[in-house]
Chains A and B, each alone.
Chain A
């Protein structure tokens, strides 16, 4: 099988390897948005470990055959964090890394928000917040009717959870004890124009999901070992119903002058900021 579906805990060596990929992805994100002069930097940097864990360790996929019917599915419900998504897909071999230079350009296969028709590896078009979890549920229904056995992973933003449709979907999946559905919340605490707490707080978030019939796991969303272990555990638990992983993250993670700042939600670094950011990411080698 071409995927890398491994349930075992990561060795120290594997952790180092994944950390290196994360660093590389962060640099790709910075370069992609800086080249394009636009893009969602903060939420891309916060999702790196989650995406690297999924695509390099957890998901059963074949980058050479993106439409393989038995593959695990992934929906980036927080579609604006496309630079992070595209960087991981390119890194994983879905398309040539050089394509990232065309991000957001006219005629590019890499649109501002993910387009399943244009980009290999994208399982669902997203961009208008709140729709991805419903689409993921539909994939589960189709899977079950086809007698297939894949898992469906849906990554949501925290601000996105303010959308009512998320809770319509959560209620459906919880009520039907839908199996093989793993939601992940990139809980970076910052949305477009401010913090989540000052905009419309989500707490008690775990209790909300539990009340909707979901099992809830929490993890440090930047500890790659913990991220992989937690999502693997969620995958196993999802046999009996939907599971959500609340991953505590930092918006703009890895670049100190971006961390925790809503101003970097949708801002591209200038040339000098790009240089500083790349230097800082490089200097983080342990």
Chain B
């Protein structure tokens, strides 16, 4: 993977899982007939005896994985985020989170990019749902490179963990100098006039915004937040105190996700001006990904104009 190369995080996830399966015999994978989309089909090809096809039955799949984990296996459950975090939310909650079982949950097709499938398949609430579940760790990597690292870290981590991946190709922004750790924020660009906090596939867009702003003489700090829970509160408080204003951006609803989590930290520890970019309280729609991001104000240009507006005020 080279910086700037376009690679879909789901593909990196599928490959990483295969590699992981070769090293860790305790890894088993559960699929509900979407493996060719989520890319767990690659694992099936490599280790068919450790791949469980449950059919289109997400609730059964999640609780089955819970049962199997009690024998010491490390099940990875993968399906569309929209179904995993909502249709099977109660199974995740009662059968996995409550007994703190060691099951990894991959919410694929996170957010808007779903191949024009529209609102029914666009998961704009999964981070919010998973984040408020006790015992749950929530990870949302920024590119394919970090996704690969996150798969390894998640597998080492003991307990329930939700790993969000996206369908569309995303520019690679990380290389071997990046070491993903659960719970850590990464400052990708220094600045003292405003802070942009981004997660998932919005980080490459935010990085471009920070570089564009620099050309215009605006020093924007960029914090990449690949772990939504537990959140690196220190980085947020520091940003508030040092830059005085914050913009968050996410491929998710403005309610309850990254923006919500940052607002909670700020209001309690270091209040400052905050603007949340993300999906408004409405359903998505079919269309080109970028057209949808543009329509709902979730892209590089929106960060730039919002940052300029905040600095002028």
Residues of chain A at the chain B interface (Cβ within 8 Å): 69, 75, 115-117, 123-128, 130-132, 134-143, 145-146, 148, 164-165, 168-169, 171-172
Contacts and interface: CB of A to CB of B under 8 A. Distances in A.
| Majority secondary structure, A binding face | helix
Contact of B64 (A115, A127, A135, A171): A135
Contacts of A136: 67
Given A115-B99, A117-B99, A135-B95, A123 B70 contact: yes
B79 to A, nearest CB: 14
Interface string B11-37: 000000000000000001000000000
A168 B57 contact: yes
A148 B70 CA distance: 13
Contacts of A134: 59-64, 66-67, 91, 95
Interface in B68-98: 68-73, 75, 90-91, 93-95, 98
B104 to A, nearest CB: 14
B65 interface: yes
A117 B95 CA distance: 12
Interface string B148-179: 00000000000000000000000000000000
B296 interface: no
13 contacts: A69-B71, A115-B99, A117-B100, A124-B67, A131-B90, A134-B62, A137-B64, A138-B70, A140-B67, A141-B64, A141-B67, A165-B57, A169-B63
B94 A138 contact: no
B67 A137 contact: yes
A227 B136 CA distance: 41
A127 B71 contact: no
| Majority secondary structure, B binding face | helix
A143 B99 contact: no
A285 B52 CA distance: 51
Interface residues of B, number: 30
Contacts of A171: 55, 57
Interface centre among B54, B67, B90 (most CB of A within 10 A): B67
Given A136-B67, A145-B73, A124 B99 contact: yes
Nearest to A175: B55
Interface in B185-221: none
Nearest to B71: A142
Contact of A172 (B28, B55, B90, B93): B55
B68 A142 contact: yes
